[in-house]
Structure 1
């Protein structure tokens, strides 16, 4: 994957593990503005249509950013200052762009991990909702301050938060703007795991990546798509999605590779996934 179009996200590629790490470090506090949105859009395009490049099977977004006061920062919200002078129509279009981007990030055909290491406000908390798995360090905190600014969380936060933490906690966070620490975020289900520090968190992600790069990228992507598409649907529809995803693996030749390589896979070898005759 060409990393130049996503340089604003400070990418680091671990080709052996098929792992792409974004270590955010921009602006005053990793606030998300138009430049970063464009970089994320380029990231989605590169992953959705990888071409001949080796696949990326694991994505991790994190940050080592620390404020002048020594406060760790993950994503301190959207870049509101760039909107000074914008009219209402431009603001609406910009937020629609953010919402569509978040939808694309949620559906990326890989395993997506968010590792929050500090202040995670507004857009940052909404970004956690795009991840397949979220980890936080003890320095992390989460809040949705938007209603205090005369708006609502508009990048999927209002639409999706309750599906993760339940309506009561979603209403608490969205209506009051209360900040919660990493332990509370894990308790309510906003994150799934605590790590003592960023290095331990990254080691955990590398462990995920080591497992993922031995698996069929097509099968992983098919499992994820069928599972997400089935959320909220009746059992019969979920079964139809499962059938279609399974048969896609068969029709694309991955199942045949798995059968032919069963002994080698059990011995710890990785077959040439995607190399179909």
Structure 2
């Protein structure tokens, strides 16, 4: 039986591929558990500097949750399922290493929520995004009602949430939902290059940037600025900072030690 999440290291970039192409990579309990394990291992592995999450095949990133598992769900069971997905996606969003979604096809429901939990999103030209849960009598349960308005604004988010409509990759780009739209054949290479570009700079600074943005968005600007100053100070005590300044002044490439 094939693994539902494939793990591959390409240099210091770990690729996690949701692998249920016959089900358009739909999320079920088995996939969530496998993704939990694989992502925790990627974060804990010192040799891994960045993570890319994608779907198997060219039709779908993740086409949503596995609706077959919804039959007979009680309200309590549904809430528990939502909290599990939310916990995993929050772990991805709060990771100290950059996480890129390489969106190859449909990113619907839980798939769109997974992509939004990643720090950056690169979409193939054939990508489609949507939160169709209202068509099932549900609302998004893995963070969609919270992350989507933060990314595209309240009005656009509500349009998708209330209609269940899909948008194409070009619209997603114009709305700020994705960072780049690229040809399907180039998606993997461009996502890898983006990860490698991030790995070329100071890893401690990357981690602090992620922390500053994630935490700062949750509160008032004044608190965010205070935290930014504190993290700026912490960076100044690192070997990465010393190396970065020395390399700049000596007009040579930096060799960041990563602490």
Instruction: Report the TM-score when normalising by structure 1.
Output: 0.84
Q: What are structure 1's unaligned runs of at least 5 residues?
A: 1-6, 67-71
Quick check: 1:47–1:108 contact (8 Å CA) kept in 2?
no
| Secondary structure of 2:107 counterpart | strand
Per the alignment, residue 16 of structure 2 pairs with 22
Superposition map of 1:35-74 within 5 A: 35-50=30-45, 53-54=46-47, 56-66=48-58, 72-74=59-61
The CA deviation at 1:225 is: 0.5
Per the alignment, residue 8 of structure 1 pairs with 4
Q: Does 1:258 find its partner at 2:244?
A: yes
Post-superposition CA distance 1:182-232 (Å, at most 9, x none): 1111122221211011x4122222222322223222221111101221125
- Distance in 2 between residues matched to 1:269 and 1:146, nearest whole Å: 48
Superposition map of 1:1-277 within 5 A: 8-15=4-11, 18-26=12-20, 28-50=23-45, 53-54=46-47, 56-66=48-58, 72-197=59-184, 199-231=185-217, 233-262=219-248, 266-274=251-259
Quick check: 1:44–1:108 contact (8 Å CA) kept in 2?
no
| Secondary structure of 1:251 counterpart | coil
- Distance in 2 between residues matched to 1:185 and 1:270, nearest whole Å: 37
Q: What are structure 2's unaligned runs of at least 5 residues?
A: none
| Secondary structure of 2:236 counterpart | helix
Quick check: 1:23–1:64 contact (8 Å CA) kept in 2?
yes
Residues 49 and 157 (structure 1), Cα distance of their counterparts in 2 relative to 1, 3 Å cut: same
Give the aligned length: 256
